[in-house]
Amino acid sequence: MDKKLLAILCCPVTHKGLALARGDIMKSVNGAIADGKLKNRDGTVLENALDEALVTDDGKLLYPVNDGIPVLLESESVALDEL
């Protein structure tokens, strides 16, 4: 993801900054997806593993990145306290 774009993005819910999710977070998220146990805030069970994601500075919310495009919709976010 472009670093200039990442520098100006923020969470639409909390207005906190966003950073690329690290390997340990991605491993936990994709493990929960594989187990069929992870839902987004809309209540939809996630079915496909994520290649990239953004996480809020406080580590509470995760947003998927699809084909290099951040999906910054509240309904698509994942509360990381579910992990």
Domain that holds residue 46: 3-82
The one-letter amino acid at 47: E
Q: Can you give the pLDDT at residue 2?
A: 81
**What are the tokens at 39?**
């839902």
**Tens-digit pLDDT profile for residues 47-64:** 999 999 999 999 999 999
CA dist 43 and 32 (Å) reads: 15
pTM across the whole model: 0.93
Please calculate the CA angle 79-81-9 and round it to the nearest 5 degrees: 40
**Tens-digit pLDDT profile for residues 62-76:** 999 999 999 999 999
Question: What stretches of the chain show up as alpha helix (H) in DSSP?
Answer: 3-8, 23-34
Domain count, the chain: 1
Question: Beta strand 69-70 with 61-66: parallel, antiparallel or unpaired?
Answer: antiparallel
